[in-house]
Amino acid sequence: MSSNNLSTFPLLQLPIEAQKHVVRLMDRLHQLTLSTFNDNTKQLVTSSGITCDYFTVSLFPTTRITIRFVGAIICLEFEEGESHDYKELNQSSITAKYGIYLKGPDQDEVHVLNKKRFVVRDWIKHLLQVLNRTRIDAVFNCNASYQTNAILRTFKTFTVHRVRTGFRSMSILTLLENLPPVTRVDFSEPIADKEFSKILAQNYGGLSPDVSQKITLNHLLSCNCVYLNISNHDLTTKDLNRFLKIWKNSTLCTRLVYLQVNLSPKSRRSSRKDGTSINLKSAYSPTMSASDLSTFPLLQLPIEAQKLVVRMMYKLHQLTLSTFNDNTKQLVTSSGITCENFSVSLKPDTQIGLGYDNGDFILLEFEEVYYDEHIELNQGCITAKYEIGEDGYDDDVHEWNKCNFVVRDWIEHLLQVLNRTHIDSVFSSDATYQLSDIQWTFKIFKIEKVQAEVKSIRVPTLLENLPPVNRVEFRDWIPDKEFSKILLQNYEGLQPGMDQKITLDQLLLSNCVRFEAFNHNLTPRDLNRFLKIWMNSKLCTMLRYLHVRFCPKSRSNGFLRIMNGIKFQLSNEKRVFQIDRQYGNEPYTKDVNKGATIYRKDGTEATIMITLVRRNYPEFQMFIWS
Distance in angstroms (rounded) separating the CA atoms of residues 205 and 221: 16
Distance in angstroms (rounded) separating the CA atoms of residues 560 and 543: 24
Q: Is the pLDDT of residue 388 over 60?
A: no
- β-strand partners of 344: 352, 426
Flag the least confident range among 5-19, 182-196, 507-521. Answer: 5-19
Burial 412-447 (b: 16+ CB within 10 A, else e): ebbbebbebebbbbbbbbbeebbeebbebbbeebbb
- pLDDT, tens digit (0-9, with 9 covering 90-100), for 584-605: 455 667 788 878 999 999 999 9
Stronger pLDDT, 17 or 531, i.e. the higher one: 531
Preceding omega of 348 cis (within 30 degrees of 0): yes
Is 80 a domain residue? no
Per-residue pLDDT band for 135 (boundaries 50, 70, 90) equals: very high
Q: Based on C-alpha coordinates, what's the Rg of the chain?
A: 29
Dihedral (C-alpha) 298, 303, 304, 308: value to the nearest 10 degrees?
20
The last residue of a domain, from among 319, 334, 349: 334
Distance in angstroms (rounded) separating the CA atoms of residues 531 and 529: 5
Q: Is the pLDDT of residue 320 over 50?
A: yes
Is 548 a domain residue? yes
The confidence score (pLDDT) of residue 454 equals 63
Q: What percent of the chain has pLDDT over 90?
A: 19
The confidence score (pLDDT) of residue 71 equals 66
Is 94 a domain residue? no
Per-residue pLDDT band for 99 (boundaries 50, 70, 90) equals: low
- pLDDT, tens digit (0-9, with 9 covering 90-100), for 3-27: 556 666 778 888 888 888 888 888 8
The confidence score (pLDDT) of residue 283 equals 36
Q: Is the pLDDT of residue 223 over 50?
A: yes
Average pLDDT (113-126) is 85
- pLDDT, tens digit (0-9, with 9 covering 90-100), for 103-114: 344 445 677 877
The last residue of a domain, from among 304, 334, 364: 334
The confidence score (pLDDT) of residue 594 equals 79
Is 430 a domain residue? no
- pLDDT, tens digit (0-9, with 9 covering 90-100), for 572-588: 888 888 866 555 455 66
Best CA proximity match to 213, nearest among 236, 176, 177, 188: 188
The confidence score (pLDDT) of residue 360 equals 82
Residue 600 one-letter amino acid: R
CA 617 from chain centre, in angstroms, equals: 23
Q: Is the pLDDT of residue 190 over 60?
A: yes
Q: Is the pLDDT of residue 226 over 50?
A: yes
- The total number of structural domains in the chain stands at 2
Paired sense of beta strands 423-428 and 447-452, if any: parallel
Distance in angstroms (rounded) separating the CA atoms of residues 166 and 354: 32
SS3 42: helix
Is 462 a domain residue? no
- Cβ neighbours of residue 23 closer than 8 Å, sequence gap 6 or more: 11, 31, 34, 44, 45, 48, 50
SS3 480: helix
The confidence score (pLDDT) of residue 47 equals 92
What range defines the domain where residue 279 resides? 269-334
Phi, psi for residue 416 in degrees, rounded to 5: -65, -45
- pLDDT, tens digit (0-9, with 9 covering 90-100), for 338-369: 998 999 988 777 889 998 887 788 888 887 76
Distance in angstroms (rounded) separating the CA atoms of residues 311 and 270: 10
Whether the Cβ atoms of residue 61 and residue 143 lie closer than 8 Å to each other: yes
Q: Is the pLDDT of residue 143 over 90?
A: no
The last residue of a domain, from among 334, 361, 383: 334
- pLDDT, tens digit (0-9, with 9 covering 90-100), for 43-65: 999 998 898 888 999 887 778 89
- Cβ neighbours of residue 170 closer than 8 Å, sequence gap 6 or more: 141, 143, 144, 146, 148
Is 546 a domain residue? yes
Is 208 a domain residue? no
- pLDDT, tens digit (0-9, with 9 covering 90-100), for 255-306: 887 788 876 544 444 433 433 333 333 333 444 444 456 667 778 888 998 8
Is 388 a domain residue? no
Paired sense of beta strands 136-141 and 54-59, if any: parallel
- pLDDT, tens digit (0-9, with 9 covering 90-100), for 428-468: 876 678 888 889 999 999 999 998 876 667 788 888 889 99
Per-residue pLDDT band for 233 (boundaries 50, 70, 90) equals: low
Average pLDDT (224-242) is 80
